Chains A and B, each alone.
Chain A
Amino acid sequence: MDLFDISMVGLQRGMSGALLRQQVLANNLSNANTPGFKRSDVDFHSALAAAIGGATSPQSVLGTGFSVETDTSTTMRADGNNVDVDGEMASLSENTLDYQAMTSVLSTRVKILETAIGNR
């Protein structure tokens, strides 16, 4: 096992994906009253799952990019805005929990490494 194997790098990319998604969701919420605004989202799970599924080395996972997709197909209000504040709130808490899950796994891995190194 490498020190930084595919799952370690996957966690790193997953965490930055969740940070990006947090920013995108915050942007949707801050534009909840902007006429004509269309919401965006990042599906970092699928991108990362595809990258890990076909991964041969940690480097290939490290290069995974995430794209911000704008949803122009729906309309919530007469002014053309399609931000559903309740939906954004749900996505926001889902994303925070995602991130917390990834950080707990990461810190456990760091603790295992520390034990192996003999730090504790």
Chain B
Amino acid sequence: MGLFDALNVSASGMSAERLRMDVIASNLANANTTRGADGQPYRRQEVILQEKSPSFGEVLGGVMVAGIVDDPTPPRRVYDPGHPDADKNGYVTMPNVNPVTEMVDLITSSRGYEANVTAMNAAKQMFTKTFDVLR
């Protein structure tokens, strides 16, 4: 067990939560995007977190991002005949992003980040104490 393994575990949590925040920000920014990268309406994206298996010499590995996947829920249909992307019935296909869900996810992810920062500070405090033993 290395001295800095606890820091690595917390760091993995922090970067995973930050990536989640990036994806949530992208979902919010594209909440009304009718033309995504593939020409289709934007699809909400979700981060899949997975427990990381420890590498050699480590006890625990922390967390890792297994992938970013599209949310398969059907898109919203909004009646807006004047919209250039409206179909022949006057309906526009809008992204399946619900800003309220995104906000809740954002809070979860930001609290998760804070929890990891606290764990990292606790580890730092412990290491500082170790250096004080022989002072």
Residues in chain A within 8 A of chain B (CB atoms): 15-16, 18-20, 22-27, 29-35, 37, 40, 68, 85, 88-89, 92-93, 95-96, 99-100, 103, 106-107, 110
Q: Name the one of B1, B125, B132 contacting A19, with C-beta atoms under 8 angstroms.
A: B1
The 8 A CB mask of B1-34 against A (1 = contact, 0 = none) is 1010110011011101100100000000000000
10 cross-chain pairs, A with B, having the tightest CB-CB distances, nearest first = A30-B13, A27-B60, A26-B119, A26-B9, A23-B6, A103-B129, A34-B49, A30-B63, A29-B115, A107-B133
Residue of A nearest to B131 (CB): A103
Contact between B109 and A23, CB atoms less than 8 A apart: no
| B-chain residues with CB within 8 Å of residue A37 when the two chains form the complex | 51
Q: Does B40 contact A (CB under 8 A)?
A: no
CB-based A-B contact count at 8 angstroms:
108
| Interface majority SS (helix, strand, loop, mixed), chain B | helix
Residue among A33, A99, A103 with max Cβ neighbours from chain B (10 Å):
A33
Contact between A96 and B63, CB atoms less than 8 A apart: no
Q: Name the one of B13, B122, B129, B133 contacting A95, with C-beta atoms under 8 angstroms.
A: B122
Residue of A nearest to B115 (CB): A29
Contact between A26 and B6, CB atoms less than 8 A apart: yes
Contact between A26 and B123, CB atoms less than 8 A apart: yes
Contact between A20 and B125, CB atoms less than 8 A apart: no
Contact between A96 and B5, CB atoms less than 8 A apart: no
Question: With A27-B62, A33-B109, A103-B133 in contact, do A22 and B6 touch (Cβ < 8 Å)?
Answer: yes
Residue of A nearest to B59 (CB): A23
Residue among B13, B16, B17, B135 with max Cβ neighbours from chain A (10 Å):
B13
Contact between A92 and B59, CB atoms less than 8 A apart: no
Contact between B119 and A92, CB atoms less than 8 A apart: yes
